[in-house]
């Protein structure tokens, strides 16, 4: 079945644009509520959001949809995506909903759905909800109509859970940490959790006004946090995205550390402690070959999944792994959370910083990444990758890189783009290969 609304990470689009409207959100609430009305208990859904102006509109529409089919609603207000997953499971809810477009600009928004186990919904569940969205729903009547309430202690519950992920013998006293919350969902909880563990926190990106989420701050706009770390002589910088499921670290020299290096650190340390499950780490096809070589030298494997944290999670669950993530900063640590959690991952890095006594620039540089280049080619329609001319250039590039690098070519799941990535030991060769393929795709588009 084709997917009209759901992409690789829920439903996302411009608020009040062609797809994502209050009307659609109400349909999602009605359909998802109907899908999860199972058993004779009183059903409930937990709804959280980030700080976008359109979150108010989307929240009210979802509440209307869920209550109209007989599901009670618990609203948390602004809270990270992993907190919604946690609360859905902890509160024995039938469903969790996060209203967020993650690292996108404020004008976009999205809807992410979690099952009662705190994990993102399967493709099958999403397909069934899409099917129901095209049908009339059975409306609850009288006393069966759902109730809605807002809880005030959601932030405290999440802060407590986050702190529990840090080893009990580790304190952060003496550390100076810059925490950039992107004016997003973690603007209160992340600085508070790290401060309560003893660190001196310099918070930035903590003044949301509905319009400034991810605007010049956060994990996709690193210049400000880099400068702040150096200016204040901090030991580390932590940059989260709008819904705080993504983490980029800044070392004391102001250099960014991506998800590959973070996975190398967490995975290798857990292996040394006998706590790494599955004998390796799960990443995506985009993770650097340097990470794979680093793990291989230590007898650990790197399992590659499709791009998207949901696919990383599927591979982790299938293989019994407890560490996975993406180069972009999504870190999934299944011992502590059911989805990516930037704050939890940051605490694992801070624990390593305390226990090792090393500066961040040394601790977090575990391998030299091989040259890697990614370029996007926009197309208007059709399938340029199916053209014989493009396939011939790709085949030639694969032969050229064989044994010396990798080639990954895929269509974007959200835009009409072909993404061309190559990596290898010879940077000039990598650039030449990517340019040849891009030229071929442009000619066929």
CA distance 265 to 294: 10
Catalytic residue among 102, 165, 219, 328: 102
Is the CB of residue 70 less than 8 Å from the CB of residue 30? no
b/e per residue, 401-419, with b = 16+ CB within 10 A?
beeebbbbbeeeeeeebbb
Is the CB of residue 183 less than 8 Å from the CB of residue 212? yes
Q: How far apart are the first and last CA of the chain?
A: 26
Take residue 92 and report the two structure tokens written for it: 């024995």
Query: How many CA within 13 A on the CB side of residue 115?
Result: 14
The CA-CA-CA angle for residues 92, 113, 278, to 5°, reads 80
Give the Cβ contact number of residue 328 at 10 Å: 21
CA distance 312 to 241: 19
Among candidate residues 373, 353, 348, 354, the one with its CA nearest the CA of residue 363:
353
Phi, psi of 348 (to 5 degrees): -70, -40
- If you ran DSSP here, which 8-state letter would residue 152 be given? S
Q: Quick check: is 268 catalytic?
A: no
Q: To 10 degrees, the CA torsion angle through 150, 156, 157, 159?
A: 140
Ordered DSSP codes for 84-131:
HHHHHHHTT-SEEEEE--TTS-TTEEEEEEE-TTSSBPPHHHHHHHHH
Residues 6+ apart with CB under 8 A from 123: none
- If you ran DSSP here, which 8-state letter would residue 405 be given? E
CA distance 263 to 267: 6
CA distance 310 to 340: 9
The CA-CA-CA angle for residues 128, 129, 132, to 5°, reads 90
Query: How many CA within 13 A on the CB side of residue 264?
Result: 26
Take residue 111 and report the two structure tokens written for it: 């809807």
Residues 6+ apart with CB under 8 A from 265: 348, 349, 352, 363, 364, 366
Is the CB of residue 161 less than 8 Å from the CB of residue 189? no
Q: Looking at the annotation, which residues are catalytic? A: 102
């Amino acid at each position: 079945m084709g997917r009209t609304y759901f992409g690789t990470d829920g439903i996302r689009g411009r608020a009040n644009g062609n797809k994502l409207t209050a009307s659609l959100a109400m349909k999602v609430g009605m359909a998802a509520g109907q899908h999860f009305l199972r058993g004779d208990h009183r059903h409930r859904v937990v709804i959280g959001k980030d700080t976008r102006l359109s979150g108010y509109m989307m929240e009210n529409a979802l509440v209307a949809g869920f209550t109209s089919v007989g599901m009670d609603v618990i609203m948390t207000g602004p809270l990270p995506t992993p907190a919604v997953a946690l609360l859905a499971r902890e509160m024995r809810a039938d469903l969790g909903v996060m209203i967020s477009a993650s690292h996108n600009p404020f004008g976009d928004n999205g809807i992410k759905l979690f099952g009662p186990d705190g994990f993102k919904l399967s493709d099958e569940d999403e397909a069934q909800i899409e099917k129901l969205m095209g049908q009339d729903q059975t409306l609850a009547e009288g006393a069966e109509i759902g109730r809605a309430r807002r809880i005030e202690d959601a932030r405290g519950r999440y802060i407590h859970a986050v702190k529990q992920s840090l080893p009990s013998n580790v304190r952060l006293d003496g550390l100076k940490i810059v925490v950039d919350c992107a004016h997003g969902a973690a603007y209160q909880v992340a600085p508070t959790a790290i401060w309560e563990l003893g660190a001196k926190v310099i918070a930035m990106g903590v003044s949301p006004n509905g319009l400034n989420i991810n605007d010049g701050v956060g994990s996709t706009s690193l210049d400000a946090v880099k400068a702040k770390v150096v200016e204040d002589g901090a030991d580390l910088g932590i940059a989260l995205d709008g819904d705080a499921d993504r983490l980029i670290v800044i070392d004391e020299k102001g250099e960014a550390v991506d998800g590959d290096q973070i996975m190398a650190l967490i995975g290798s340390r857990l292996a040394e402690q006998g706590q790494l499950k599955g004998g390796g780490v799960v990443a995506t096809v985009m993770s650097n070959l340097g990470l794979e070589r680093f793990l291989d030298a230590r007898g650990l494997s790197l399992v590659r999944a499709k791009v998207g944290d949901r696919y990383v999670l599927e591979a982790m669950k299938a293989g019994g792994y407890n560490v996975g993530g993406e180069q972009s900063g999504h870190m999934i640590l299944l011992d502590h959370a059911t989805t990516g959690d930037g704050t939890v991952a940051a605490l694992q890095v801070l624990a390593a910083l305390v226990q090792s006594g090393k500066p961040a620039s040394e601790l977090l540089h575990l391998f030299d990444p091989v040259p890697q280049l990614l370029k996007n080619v926009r197309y208007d329609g059709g399938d340029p990758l199916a053209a014989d001319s493009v396939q011939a250039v790709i085949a030639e590039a694969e032969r050229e890189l064989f044994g010396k690098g990798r080639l990954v070519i895929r269509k974007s799941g959200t835009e009409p783009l072909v993404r061309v990535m190559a990596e290898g030991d010879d940077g000039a060769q990598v650039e030449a290969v990517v340019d040849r393929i891009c030229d071929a795709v442009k000619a066929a588009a």
